[in-house]
């Protein structure tokens, strides 16, 4: 499967990256020294995910609440809360829809609205997404044409939790082109298994649907996480709903499911489960930590924190 080959290239690239420079935050305040750091005491926030080559994400806050995330391609995600619950996410920029490590040429804009149940758990995410493209300049070297709408989609995600553990057990996606009359034409189902509190296995299958009925799956990918440490993942500092939004930012971003775990896996395997004899692509890492046991480096990504 082409996507699995892209995963291999992407993680091989990450594993070849080494340490990065010490940084300051957006106000010029010094951050943790990642090479010989004394750590932070008191409340902290995840500030940056970086490699030597690029900044993967930079997190901004309004007080204690996440408010904006800057990602590759000058992309911007604005996050809004209603009380302590994340209520909507607005993204404008570029995504890597096929996970080949390169951002799409087409521009993407989407809005996700979050609904919670009586127990305060996230139950539904509704999304409207627009993809724009532009024609190349003619003759070559001249400015390209204006951005025009390539396609629009409407998607709904339903989250189900285990009645015994209260952990996320399943996400069902229904999506279709935003045309009149509208109908959902494709689906996916994602299931989650756990080792303690950590996500140990994710399986997502995809297929067509018509008249509200799911057809036979046409693709199926598995993600396995193991050899968890007992230290603290930096992703524990991000809201659960935002982490789900990241995983759902493209239809094959489930490799990021490790962000749902409080600890960090030292081994990950990605498998195309539609092949007669599935062969996993395996990736491994060693982590670095600060004195407060927060992860500072793993899978070639450096994690930078700032005090709150």
Give 249-273 pLDDT, tens digit per residue: 999 999 999 999 999 999 999 999 9
Beta bridge partners of 166: none
72-98 mean pLDDT: 96
Q: Does the structure show a pLDDT above 80 at 225?
A: yes
Q: What is the dihedral of CA 290, 292, 297, 303, to 10 degrees?
A: -110
Confidence class of residue 291 from pLDDT cuts 50, 70 and 90?
Answer: very high
Question: Taking the model in full, what pTM does it have?
Answer: 0.89
In the chain the beta strands, taken as DSSP E runs, fall at 44-50, 55-62, 65-71, 75-82, 85-93, 107-116, 122-133, 148-161, 168-177, 186-195, 198-210, 213-214, 219-228, 265-272, 281-284, 288-289, 295-298, 301-307
Report the sign of the C-alpha dihedral through residues 68, 71, 76, 79, in that order: negative
Q: Which tokens in the block code for residue 286?
A: 């060693």
Predicted local distance difference test score (pLDDT) of residue 39: 60
Q: Does the structure show a pLDDT above 70 at 151?
A: yes
Confidence class of residue 74 from pLDDT cuts 50, 70 and 90?
Answer: very high
Place of tokens 């204006």: 146
Count of helix runs (H) and strand runs (E) in the chain: 2, 18
Domain limits, the chain? 2-307
Give 119-134 pLDDT, tens digit per residue: 999 999 999 999 999 9
Please tell me the distance from the alpha carbon of residue 54 to that of residue 26, in angstroms, as a whole number: 16
Mean pLDDT for the chain?
89
Please tell me the distance from the alpha carbon of residue 232 to that of residue 229, in angstroms, as a whole number: 8
Confidence class of residue 12 from pLDDT cuts 50, 70 and 90?
Answer: very low
Q: Does the structure show a pLDDT above 50 at 9?
A: no
Predicted local distance difference test score (pLDDT) of residue 13: 41
Q: Does the structure show a pLDDT above 60 at 198?
A: yes
Predicted local distance difference test score (pLDDT) of residue 143: 87
Place of tokens 């106000």: 27
172-193 mean pLDDT: 97
Give 21-54 pLDDT, tens digit per residue: 445 555 545 455 444 455 667 789 999 999 988 8
Predicted local distance difference test score (pLDDT) of residue 284: 96
Predicted local distance difference test score (pLDDT) of residue 26: 53
Predicted local distance difference test score (pLDDT) of residue 2: 47
């Amino acid at each position: 499967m082409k996507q699995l080959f892209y995963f291999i290239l992407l993680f091989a690239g990450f594993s070849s990256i080494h340490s990065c420079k010490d940084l300051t935050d957006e106000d010029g305040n010094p951050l943790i020294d990642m090479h010989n750091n004394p750590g932070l005491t008191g409340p902290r926030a995840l500030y940056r995910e970086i490699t030597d080559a690029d900044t993967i994400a930079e997190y901004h806050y309004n007080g204690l609440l996440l408010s904006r995330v800057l990602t590759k391609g000058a992309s911007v995600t604005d996050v809004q809360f209603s009380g302590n619950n994340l209520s909507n996410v607005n993204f404008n920029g570029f995504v890597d829809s096929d996970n080949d490590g390169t951002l799409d040429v087409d521009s993407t804009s989407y809005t996700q609205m979050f609904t919670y149940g009586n127990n305060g758990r996230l139950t539904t995410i509704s999304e409207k997404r627009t993809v724009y493209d532009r024609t190349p300049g003619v003759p070559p070297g001249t400015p390209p044409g204006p951005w025009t709408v390539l396609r629009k989609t409407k998607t709904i995600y339903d989250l189900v939790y285990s009645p015994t553990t209260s952990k996320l057990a399943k996400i069902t996606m229904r999506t279709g082109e935003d045309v009149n009359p509208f109908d959902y034409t494709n689906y996916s189902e994602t299931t989650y298994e756990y080792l303690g509190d950590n996500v140990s296995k994710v399986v997502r299958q995809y297929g067509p649907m018509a008249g509200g009925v799911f057809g036979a799956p046409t693709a199926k990918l598995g993600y396995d996480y193991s050899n968890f440490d007992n230290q603290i993942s930096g992703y524990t500092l991000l809201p659960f709903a935002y982490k789900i939004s990241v995983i759902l930012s493209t239809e094959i971003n489930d490799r990021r499911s490790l962000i749902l775990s409080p600890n960090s896996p030292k081994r990950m395997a990605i498998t195309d489960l539609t092949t007669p004899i599935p062969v996993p692509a395996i990736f491994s890492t060693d982590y670095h930590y600060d004195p407060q046991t927060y992860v500072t480096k793993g899978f070639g990504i450096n994690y930078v924190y700032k005090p709150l």
